Amino acid sequence: MSSPRTRYSTVAIVLHWLIAAAIIFQVILAWRMDGRTPSGFALIQLHKSVGISILLLSLLRLAWRLANRPPPMPAGMATWERWLAKVAHVGLYVIMIGMPITGWIMVSTSRIQVPTLLYGVVPWPHVPGLAHLTGAAKSAWNDVGHLGHEALAWGAYVLIALHVAGALKHQLFSREEPVLAHMAPGAKPGRWLDPRLIAIFVVALGVMAAAQTIRPPVPASKPLPPPPAAIETAEVAAPVVPAATAADPAAATPAAEAASSEPSAWTVSQGSTLGFATSWGGSAIEGRFDRWTADIVFSPEALDKSKVSVSIDLASAVSGDSQRDESLKGADWFDVASHAKATFTATKFEKTGADRYVAHGRLTLRGVSKPLRLPFRLQIEGDKARVSGVTSLDRTAFGVGQGEWTSTDQIPADVKVSVNLTAKRR
């Protein structure tokens, strides 16, 4: 086997070039990131995945380095050069390990809790102990992550430039110091047109071009999973099937109710959906709440005594992307930690045409209560009713979307809410 005196071990060489390529890719990618647009969000997810991969590879490399001696530096190197090379190498290890850790701290303490799914597949936890902090402690750690990441990024620019300049100096201007050959075995010092040098240059350009052009799939493009069987089974304690309100005489004697002009109580059937629709950066997003309950007491003949009240578990929002759904629960959006449920209660109903009605109610969402009109179509056949209705609301009026999301250039203020349900008379 080749002597460890003239080059690094094969494992160290493979890891060096893999990590170098990944870091170059990572930096170029970072310059394109902007979490407010769907494509920028997808780039951040890729940045996180590549960054964590760099962390794992770098820890492996450090362990390998500590267990395996590197080749000695060439005899002709000046003392200051040896020191500079050593300091730069230690600094590069600090970058390789420190950058991912500060990035990881940043995303673990972010206001918007976006989970990390490496390459969209492998779940990666937040930094233990940090994600559950609140208030000032959380934002202090976020500052540590943010400032550290930025400072190390500047350190990386300087050190990588110095490191590459050093490697090139020895390769191009010295015939006796085979430094590049330590990492690229066979490279001949003093040669400008060395195939290894050209290969490194071409691959580096390719990696930069890839980082500049890659377009990871945006979350909004994924279709929703099939509508819930979950709706009825997800909440054992509070099933979607509405409890009949109090001692409703109509419920006890269904046949008699129409004549008595008392409204009927209804049980919502499986497959009923409560959806929402919006868009992000121009691409449509269809969402749905998978857990909600409805108390419905309603008859066209007794509109004045009818009452509908819906309670929506906001943490059950799905929108076709699990990372986005997780952030919807966070403080900037539904803030489920403080306001787990939204409620809609309507006690005034108006008939506007054949089978057409308008419910005048109040929506309470995120601690804000506002009037909301819900026009709907109702068809009753015997003991079965079919209801479909669409309304729209201004998300900003309820504080849904804080901070940079109060701006409506990427996500409009207007959100469509739709209900499609079938119900059985009790």
| Residue 189 is a binding residue for ligand HEM (CB under 6 A) | no
Min dist. Cβ of residue 220 to ligand HEM (A): 20
**Which residues between 3 and 22 bind ligand HEM (CB under 6 A)?**
12, 16, 19-20
Min dist. Cβ of residue 130 to ligand HEM (A): 12
User: What 3-state class would DSSP assign to 196?
Assistant: helix
* Rounded-to-integer distance, Cα 96 and Cα 4, Å: 24
| Residue 42 is a binding residue for ligand HEM (CB under 6 A) | no
| Residue 149 is a binding residue for ligand HEM (CB under 6 A) | yes
| Residue 100 is a binding residue for ligand HEM (CB under 6 A) | yes
* Residue whose CB is less far from ligand HEM, 3 or 338: 3
* Residue whose CB is less far from ligand HEM, 54 or 417: 54
* Rounded-to-integer distance, Cα 360 and Cα 367, Å: 19
Total residues in contact with ligand HEM, by rule CB under 6 A: 45
Helix (H) and strand (E) counts for the chain?
A: 10, 13
What are the residues whose beta carbons fall under 8 Å from the beta carbon of 410, sequence distance 6 or more?
36, 37, 280, 281
| Residue 104 is a binding residue for ligand HEM (CB under 6 A) | yes
Residue selected from 70, 275, 300, 330 as contacting ligand HEM according to rule CB under 6 A? 70
Min dist. Cβ of residue 180 to ligand HEM (A): 5
**Which residues between 192 and 251 bind ligand HEM (CB under 6 A)?**
200
**Which residues between 258 and 277 bind ligand HEM (CB under 6 A)?**
none
Stretch that binds ligand HEM, among 104-112, 219-227, 364-372, 398-406 (CB under 6 A): 104-112
Residue selected from 18, 32, 84, 89 as contacting ligand HEM according to rule CB under 6 A? 89
Report which secondary-structure segment, H or E, holds 61.
helix 38-67
Strand segments, DSSP code E, in 169-272 are 264-268
Residue selected from 43, 46, 57, 107 as contacting ligand HEM according to rule CB under 6 A? 107
Stretch that binds ligand HEM, among 150-158, 325-333, 340-348, 374-382 (CB under 6 A): 150-158
Residue selected from 42, 43, 46, 103 as contacting ligand HEM according to rule CB under 6 A? 103
* Rounded-to-integer distance, Cα 12 and Cα 9, Å: 5
Min dist. Cβ of residue 53 to ligand HEM (A): 9
Q: ∠ at Cα 267 (264, 270), nearest 5°?
A: 150
Min dist. Cβ of residue 163 to ligand HEM (A): 5
Report which secondary-structure segment, H or E, holds 378.
strand 368-381
Min dist. Cβ of residue 212 to ligand HEM (A): 14
| Residue 106 is a binding residue for ligand HEM (CB under 6 A) | yes
Instruction: Give whole-number Cα distances, 319 to 9, 79, 199, in Å.
Output: 49, 61, 45
CB 189 within 8 A of CB 178: yes
User: Could you give the maximum distance between any two Cα atoms of the chain, in Å?
Assistant: 106
* Rounded-to-integer distance, Cα 225 and Cα 235, Å: 18
| Residue 179 is a binding residue for ligand HEM (CB under 6 A) | yes
Please give the full DSSP string across 284-349, using - where no structure is assigned. EEEEEES-EEEEEEE-GGGGGG-EEEEEEEGGGEE-S-HHHHHHHTSTTTT-TTT--EEEEEEEEE
**Residue 323 structure tokens:** 């990372």
* Rounded-to-integer distance, Cα 240 and Cα 310, Å: 10
| Residue 77 is a binding residue for ligand HEM (CB under 6 A) | no
**Which residues between 341 and 380 bind ligand HEM (CB under 6 A)?**
none
| Residue 46 is a binding residue for ligand HEM (CB under 6 A) | no
**Residue 66 structure tokens:** 């500590």
**Residue 11 structure tokens:** 């494992």
Min dist. Cβ of residue 30 to ligand HEM (A): 3
Residues that bind ligand HEM (CB under 6 A): 12, 16, 19-20, 23-24, 26-27, 30, 33, 44, 47-48, 51-52, 54, 65, 70-71, 73, 85, 89, 92-93, 96, 99-100, 103-104, 106-107, 116, 149-150, 153, 156, 160, 163-164, 167, 179-180, 182-183, 200
